[in-house]
Amino acid sequence: MPSPVTLTGEAFSRAQFESLLKRRFFFTESFEIYRTAPNFKGDNRGLYDYGPPGCGLLANIVNEWRRHFVIEENMLEVDCTAITPEAVLKTSGHVDRFADWMCKDPVKGEHLRADHLVETVLETRLANSRLAVGDGKSKLDRLDVATVQRYEDILAKIDNYDGPELGKLIRELDIRNPNGNGVVEEPVAFNLMFKSTIGPSSASPVYFRPETAQGQFLNFRKLLDYCQGSMPFASACIGKSYRNEISPRSGLLRVREFLMAEIEHFVDPESNKSHERFGEVAEMELPLLDRKTQLSGKTAITPMRIGKAVETKLVDNETLGYFLARVYLFLLKIGVDAKKLRFRQHLDNEMAHYACDCWDAELLTSYGWIECVGCADRSAYDLTVHSRETGAPLTVKEARATPLEITEWTATLEKKLVGPRFKKDAKIIEQAVGQLGQDDLARLAAELAKNAVITISTDKLANGANSAELSSDICSIKQVTRVENTREYTPNVIEPSFGIGRILYSVLEHVYWCRPQDAAREVLSLPILVAPTKVLLVPLSNHAGFKPAVKSLAARLRALGIANIVDSSSVSIGKRYARNDELGTPLGITVDFDTLKDGTITLRERDSTVQVRASEDDIMDATRNLLSGMETWKQVSERLPAFTRQSVDE
Scan residues 549-568 and list those touching a second copy (CB under 8 A): 558, 561, 563, 565-566
Indicate the residue type of 645: R
- Of 134-142, 215-223, 424-432, 471-479, the segment contacting a second copy by CB under 8 A is 215-223
334 counts as binding a second copy under rule CB under 8 A? no
Nearest approach in angstroms of CB 533 to a second copy is 9
Residue 70: CB atoms within 10 A of its CB come to 19
Q: Per CB under 8 A, does 588 bind a second copy?
A: no
**Taking contact as CB under 8 A, which single stretch among the options 169-177, 242-250, 351-359, 450-458 is the one that binds a second copy?**
242-250
Is residue 288 within 8 Å of 345, Cβ to Cβ? yes
| 76 belongs to the binding site for a second copy (CB under 8 A) | yes
Q: What is the CA radius of gyration of the chain?
A: 33
CA dihedral for 150, 155, 156, 161, sign (positive or negative) = positive
Backbone phi, then psi, for 158, in 5-degree steps? -60, -30
CB of 125 to a second copy, least distance (A): 25
Nearest to 318 by CA among 574, 494, 156, 540: 494
428-461 in b/e form (b: 16+ CB < 10 A) is bbeebbeebeeeebeebbeebeeeeebebebeeb
One residue of 17, 50, 65, 498 binding a second copy per CB under 8 A: 50
Angle at CA of residue 246, ends 245 and 251, nearest 5° = 60
DSSP character at residue 356: S
Q: Is 28 one of the binding residues for a second copy (CB under 8 A)?
A: yes
**Segment interacting with a second copy, rule: CB under 8 A, options 3-11, 385-393, 410-418, 481-489:** 385-393
What are the two backbone dihedrals, phi and then psi, of residue 369, each rounded to the nearest 5 degrees?
-75, 125
By CB under 8 A, tell whether 266 contacts a second copy.
no
Q: Of 116, 256, 265, 378, which one interacts with a second copy (CB under 8 A)? A: 256
On the question of a cis peptide bond just before residue 641, with omega within 30 degrees of 0, the verdict is no
Nearer to a second copy (CB atom), residue 362 or residue 567 = 567
Cα 616 from Cα 637, distance rounded (Å): 15
44 binds a second copy (CB under 8 A): yes
Residues touching a second copy, count (CB under 8 A): 92
Please identify which residue in 30, 128, 294, 625 interacts with a second copy, judged by CB under 8 A: 30
Name which of residues 91 to 150 contact a second copy (CB under 8 A): 102, 109, 111
Q: CA-CA distance, 75 to 52, in Å (whole number)?
A: 30
Q: How many other C-beta atoms lie within 10 A of the C-beta of residue 647? A: 10
User: CB under 8 A: which stretch of 67-75, 333-341, 457-465, 610-618 binds a second copy?
Assistant: 67-75
Between 55 and 173, name the residue whose CB sits nearer to a second copy. 55
Could you say which DSSP state residue 11 is in?
B
Question: Looking at 36, 296, 402, 463, which residue binds a second copy (CB under 8 A)?
Answer: 36
Residue 483 exposed, middle or buried by CB count within 10 Å (0-12, 13-18, 19+): exposed
Question: Smallest distance, Å, CB 306 to a second copy?
Answer: 21
Of residues 193 through 212, those in contact with a second copy by CB under 8 A are 194-196, 198-201, 203-206, 208
Burial string for 310-338 (b: 16+ CB within 10 Å, else e) reads beeebbbbbbbbbbbbbbbebbebbbbbe
What is the nearest approach in angstroms of a second copy to the Cβ of residue 76?
4
Based on CB atoms, which residue is closest to a second copy, 314 or 591?
591
Indicate the residue among 7 and 553 with the shorter CB distance to a second copy.
553
| DSSP structural state of residue 555 | H
- Contact at 8 Å (CB) between 396 and 268? yes
> 382 or 425, CB closer to a second copy?
382
Sign of CA dihedral 483, 486, 489, 492: positive
Helix axis angle, 14-23 to 500-510, nearest 10°: 110
Q: Is 391 a binder of a second copy (CB under 8 A)?
A: yes
By CB under 8 A, tell whether 59 contacts a second copy. yes
Torsion of CA 220, 495, 350, 305, to 10 degrees: 150
Residue 185 vs 594, nearer CB to a second copy: 185
Q: How far is the CB of 190 from a second copy (least distance, A)?
A: 6
* Residue 202 CB, nearest approach to a second copy (Å): 10
The interface with a second copy within residues 7-26 (CB under 8 A) comprises: 24-25
Kindly state whether residue 585 participates in binding a second copy, applying the rule CB under 8 A. no
Contact 645, 630 (CB under 8 A): no
CB of 23 to a second copy, least distance (A): 9
To the nearest whole angstrom, how small is the minimum distance from the Cβ of residue 38 to a second copy? 7
Stretch that binds a second copy, among 79-87, 363-371, 470-478, 598-606 (CB under 8 A): 79-87
Using rule CB under 8 A, residue 240 touches a second copy: yes
Smaller CB distance to a second copy: residue 49 or 469? 49
Q: Which of 5, 14, 51, 453 contacts a second copy by CB under 8 A?
A: 51
Residue 451 binds to a second copy (criterion: CB under 8 A): no
43 forms part of the interface with a second copy (CB under 8 A): yes
231 binds a second copy (CB under 8 A): no
Question: How far is residue 443's CA from residue 463's CA, in Å, rounded to a whole number?
Answer: 27
When asked if residue 491 is in the footprint of a second copy (CB under 8 A), the reply is no
